[in-house]
Structure 1
Amino acid sequence: MLTAHMVPTARRMLLGSADMHAAEVGTSPSAVGASLVVVGIGADGWDGLAPAARAEVERAEVLLGSARQLALVPASIEAERVPWPTPLSQALPGLIEQQAGRATVVLASGDPMLSGIGATLTRLLGRDRVRVLPAPSSVSLACARLGWAIEETEVVTLVGRPLELLHPHVHPGRRLLVLGSGAGTPADVASLLAARGYGPSVVTVLGNLGAANETAHTGTAAGWSHAVPALAVTAVECRADPGTVPLPTVPGLPDEVYESDGQLTKSDVRAVTLARLAPVPGQLLWDVGAGSGSIGIEWMRAHPSCRAVAVEASAERAGRITRNASRLGVPYLRVLVGRAPDVLEQLPGPDAVFIGGGLTTPGLPEACWDALPSGGRLVANAVTVESEAVLAKWFGRVGGALVRIGVQHAEPVGRFTGWKPAMPVTIWSVVKP
């Protein structure tokens, strides 16, 4: 599978080669590859294909797909059969280019646009060069078997991705469909659930959906011991152990869920800070002076498409950030070890910036401000007089909002209870005009 960061490079390779071929044969670039059709095929194989899909396969000169998918097509189909190479991500552009000018059909499992090759090819070639004929997806089939409404079911794709991505979706009462890469996925999911305090969760594994040998196994996460087929979907009804504290996706997780050496934006201040940073799906945050990584982590937990870079000068703290990110379900948080502002030049432009440390470093606020586009948000927190002076200067220069937050916690005082104040935090937030 092509990862997101490979797509632009692969697209340039593929379109450039296609355009060159078009020039040589005297056709327009848009005509090259126009015959590429992606046909979804279920575990029921040829018999389950719709007439239109069968017709495309029958007229194909080349069939591309996995060995299992190619074997589902009758031997009477005379097209050349080309199995996917390994690794596919690097070979795919050249492989598609080789078929230029030939009627090519790509075989895919179920709905090719659901974590499938259809979406990858559309990103590479553009939607005008790819025609997709989907079959029922594994999600549709699983919900049909379980009696679950699709719109009320959360789908989590772990195909070629870290298991830890499941964490933000685990909440009491939620129904999940987990798409995995092999027979080991259900056991891995069950182990994660049990370790999170969701051992009573009901796990149902549906294997070979749509085939004559379709299977179903049900158990609990804590007691899971079933052997299942490699082609399977894991359905989960999340149920928590007594006393398990849910971890919501809204900001302000309990401080104790973070591994920290004390360099941690505390829960109450973190909630206010993230509200002012305003996480938006698909946007990128720079978390500068990241400490334990809590701001970047909770930015990414707000939505699966949110991205963040944690910039931290200490290698020890950077390792801690990585562990926190994995444990809290955002393993794709990028951690950059280095001193700001020097290392910021190598980063893609941000949509929002948080400065949690290093405010008094010469040139740091300027570098962060200059990197922001119009509409970008900058939030900086200060706990010392010197860093507050920097914020006051910038507040006077570009405006925004400057507030001081004082939090007090109730603690025992002998036989009674008193208030213990935490160090006040000054927060400056501004939207760049």
Structure 2
Amino acid sequence: MLTVVGRDGSPLSEAAREAVESAALVMGEPGLLEGLPLAPGARTVATEDLPGALQGVDVSDQDVVLIVNGDPGHFGILRTLLEEGHAPETVPAAPLVARAFAQAGLPWEDALVVSARDGHLRQAVNACRAHPKVAVLTGPGAGPAELARALFPVTPRSFVVCENLDGPRERVVYVRPAEATTRPWNHPEVVLVLDNRHALGKQGWRSGPARAPAGWALPAEAFGEGPGLRPDVRAFVLAKLGPRVGDMVWDVESGDGSIAVECARFGAAVVAVDRDYATCERIRESVRLHGVKVAMASGDVRPTADHLPKPDAVFVGPGFTGRAGTEAVRACAALAPARIVAIASGDKAVASGDKATASGEEAREILALLAEQGFTADAVRLQASPLDPSAPPGEPVTVVWGERDARVPGRRPARRSRPIATIPALPGESEEPGIGA
């Protein structure tokens, strides 16, 4: 049979000892095979690639034991073995993350645990930007130095770097990100990335970071006085942006920072970009009011897009109009985000009666631009009217969006772009102002 045994530096449990003593072949990560109670004649193989070493080994007529660090079911080898058709017995030890937080002297039921291995460094960095307590499982090319270079100096964090946990060369080091980029590291396994102001966290009833909010599209009053997106338009935009943990979202010229705040409430890392100083101050106040993490960049996104963290989703708001709006979308689309949403607001100089025409022309330009950049693009003109007859209806807003590699299960792929659609009026209300153009 095949057994996976986790080690954490403490004496082996009775079950783990029995498995090792009866094994004909014991394979493990380097440094974990020392001091094992091996049976006479048992063979050992030290390797970093346990799944590869297991290829061709018949586990049906001999007992084989794999020795791993910590809990093999937590970002460990167990998933790979199951996918390859094995059904191993598992004897876990304390997970690396639990041991790391124990060394740091911090509770960790409210921590976000991510892996930077296997090409996920950027997502791990975004999680560290957005959350105050993150445990990052590291690997070659995704260690303390790489994390620090991505975070410093924009995101103030402290690092707890754990090397060779419970091994003979164990070391737990508290450093600032700037220092982490220059120090030599010896097999770092976990890095705790902490916002010291909130590292303790609050006691709750569930494990993991704070839950996503119960609702979105907060009322307009939640973002102070001044221009901004209506809640109904914001809800549609958020649905197309799809903010998630590990994502980097840009809120470009939304006018009130509402998209930035709402995406941050869903756990995404966010950068708000605006050219207007008063708007930047308004956004900062909203961020403080809602208690979220948003980075603020003052200036024009068109010449600075290459200097900001690479986005997964971008919103280009009504702060840009006409040709400037199309140019802003072009600059953002060139960075190949997975999702992009824009408000086609036309030209503010156009007379009121021609705004719909102006925004429609701009929307068609953006649709063509996104299709050229490899997006599946679409657009819609939204209008909502309150049930209160004394309240004025909201002006139509044209929203354009594009997705890369968009797939809907059970449906044919959409065309690259489609004409602007208008949401029809509710049944039975065609003669009264309602939802629609």
Q: TM-score, normalised by structure 1?
A: 0.50
